[in-house]
Chain A
Amino acid sequence: MSEIAQKVKSIIIDKLGVEESEVTTEASFTNDLGADSLDTVELIMEFEKEFNISIPDDQAENIATVGQAISYLEENVK
């Protein structure tokens, strides 16, 4: 697992209060990990803070699963 993937997973575990085993690549924040709309916004903000980037709203809307977050960040974090 990449360093980015590890950090993403630990943020999700922390913010959503879920178990590590639940945080699979396919897991959806809202459908599988119990996030509501505010949790999702907070997650994106945490990713921005952790990786020191800005994720535009139209891009953020496409980040709905653990895998989508990891691939977006792996592509965009320098």
Chain B
Amino acid sequence: MELKRVVVTGIGALTPLGNNKNDYWDALAKGVSGAAPITRFDAEKFRTKFACEVKNFDPLQFLDRKEARKMDPNAQYGMVAGDEAIVDSGMDLEKINKDRVGVIWGSGIGGFTTFQDEVMNFANGDGSPRFNPFFVPKMILDITPGLLSIKYGFRGPNFATVSACASSNNALTDALNYIRLGKANVILTGGSEAAVNESGIGGFNAMKALSERNDSPETASRPYDKDRDGFVLGEGAGALVLEELEHAKARGAKIYAEVLGAGMSADAHHITAPHPEGDGIVLVMNEALSDANIDPTAVDYVNTHGTSTPLGDSGEVKAIQKVFGDHAYNINISSTKSMTGHLLGAAGAVESIASLMALERGIIPPTINHFTDDPDIDPKLNLTFNEAQKREVNVVMSNTFGFGGHNTSIVFGKYNG
């Protein structure tokens, strides 16, 4: 059967850099850091005392009090970004066939704060099980696609994807493939994460995964810098409306880009450490290019996973050189995590949205906080250090990888009819 073509027709973002798509894009282009001391809890005793939090977010501006109270921040972020994407798509909700609209949503962890608070409440009691009846529905990470379907009446495919930090790229990939196969006309996809709490910081600190640069939070996320010392935890949500091309054309939708293809692979190596030769991520980029049916030389920009961890960053760059050969020197490469921090399960969605800015505005968002070259990284590569670069962009690739050895890569192209 002939696969249908899939385009992006709506975008929503709630990020540490801005609480909507345009503010997010503007901050990315300016090279702003979203990191600051933690405000969610008293982090005095924690090794890491900063994060990239969502700022000035009042859920009651978007949700009624009764609704908001029954949602973990993870779901609140998803509802707000999802709503922005639906409005942005210009879809007439009275006219479309809602049986053919799905929601596929990623999160690495889900209602982490709800889980932590309920268990702490129990632990502090006398042993009587006094759990809130909303504990389970607030905690489970698939509640976000459920809530979005309830809000809009979308009755098509509806579920969540989980692959740690690759979760929302897996959601996008599934959305792409379900529409290609004709299982839905439109899928609202993306992901959310809200892990800035005692357990999140404490847990990642215990793994030595987080930067501990407490004297300079805004320069802590420094992918590809010699002195990088771990990732900076971020939070928020990104949402994309993926739509079958003819469906989008028939309603005169604004088309941001075409989703050309996506790859998936596993490292099959270690629970958290990347494969030393980057075999799994070479495989995933090749799979994505093959699925998109394009030559590697067509790619103009790669938005990397680039978390600012010592091993991960250099491994990914070497993998890019294996996949693209000499063309790697022509590509712009950048890690927007230098600005947003690491949004875990929402990373794929917000980084796809950053990649779409490169296509839409012809601006490559930078890798900020570059101070010292890493001798292990080829200096001839253009890692878009410190300042955005202008460039005509036709094809972008966005990579995300997750604990467990999950690898994903998505390719977007300018829609040319």
A residues near B (Cβ < 8 Å) are 15-17, 34, 38-39, 41-42, 45, 48-49
The residue of chain A having its C-beta at the shortest distance from the C-beta of B64 within the complex is A17
Residues on B with C-beta less than 8 A from A42 are 132-134
In the complex the two chains form, is B130's CB within 8 Å of A38's CB?
Answer: no
Say if the beta carbon of B151 comes within 8 Å of chain A.
Answer: no
Top 7 closest pairs, chain A to chain B, by CB? A17-B66, A41-B133, A38-B133, A17-B65, A42-B133, A38-B134, A42-B132
Looking at the complex, which one of B66, B133, B137 makes contact with A45 (CB distance below 8 Å)?
B133
The residue of chain B having its C-beta at the shortest distance from the C-beta of A37 within the complex is B133
A-B contact pairs, 20 of them (CB 8 A): A15-B69, A16-B66, A17-B64, A17-B65, A17-B66, A17-B69, A34-B66, A38-B133, A38-B134, A38-B137, A39-B133, A41-B133, A42-B132, A42-B133, A42-B134, A45-B130, A45-B132, A45-B133, A48-B130, A49-B130
Residues on B with C-beta less than 8 A from A15 are 69
The residue of chain B having its C-beta at the shortest distance from the C-beta of A44 within the complex is B133
A78–B130 alpha-carbon span in the complex (Å) = 22
Residues on A with C-beta less than 8 A from B132 are 42, 45
Residues on B with C-beta less than 8 A from A49 are 130
How close is B58's CB to chain A, nearest CB, in angstroms? 16
Chain B interface helix/strand/loop/mixed: loop
B residues near A (Cβ < 8 Å) are 64-66, 69, 130, 132-134, 137
Residues on A with C-beta less than 8 A from B133 are 38-39, 41-42, 45
The residue of chain B having its C-beta at the shortest distance from the C-beta of A54 within the complex is B128
How close is B263's CB to chain A, nearest CB, in angstroms? 41
A46–B130 alpha-carbon span in the complex (Å) = 10
A34–B67 alpha-carbon span in the complex (Å) = 12
A45–B121 alpha-carbon span in the complex (Å) = 14
Known contacts A17-B66, A45-B132; can you find 4 more A-B pairs with CB under 8 A? A17-B69, A34-B66, A39-B133, A45-B133
Interface centre among A15, A38, A39, A41 (most CB of B within 10 A): A38
How close is B69's CB to chain A, nearest CB, in angstroms? 8
The residue of chain B having its C-beta at the shortest distance from the C-beta of A42 within the complex is B133
A41–B136 alpha-carbon span in the complex (Å) = 14
A42–B134 alpha-carbon span in the complex (Å) = 8
Residues on A with C-beta less than 8 A from B137 are 38
A15–B65 alpha-carbon span in the complex (Å) = 9
A77–B65 alpha-carbon span in the complex (Å) = 30
The residue of chain A having its C-beta at the shortest distance from the C-beta of B128 within the complex is A54
A41–B129 alpha-carbon span in the complex (Å) = 14
The residue of chain B having its C-beta at the shortest distance from the C-beta of A17 within the complex is B66
Interface centre among A16, A17, A39, A41 (most CB of B within 10 A): A17
Residues on A with C-beta less than 8 A from B69 are 15, 17
The residue of chain B having its C-beta at the shortest distance from the C-beta of A16 within the complex is B66
A42–B137 alpha-carbon span in the complex (Å) = 13
A15–B70 alpha-carbon span in the complex (Å) = 10
How close is A43's CB to chain B, nearest CB, in angstroms? 10
How close is A23's CB to chain B, nearest CB, in angstroms? 14
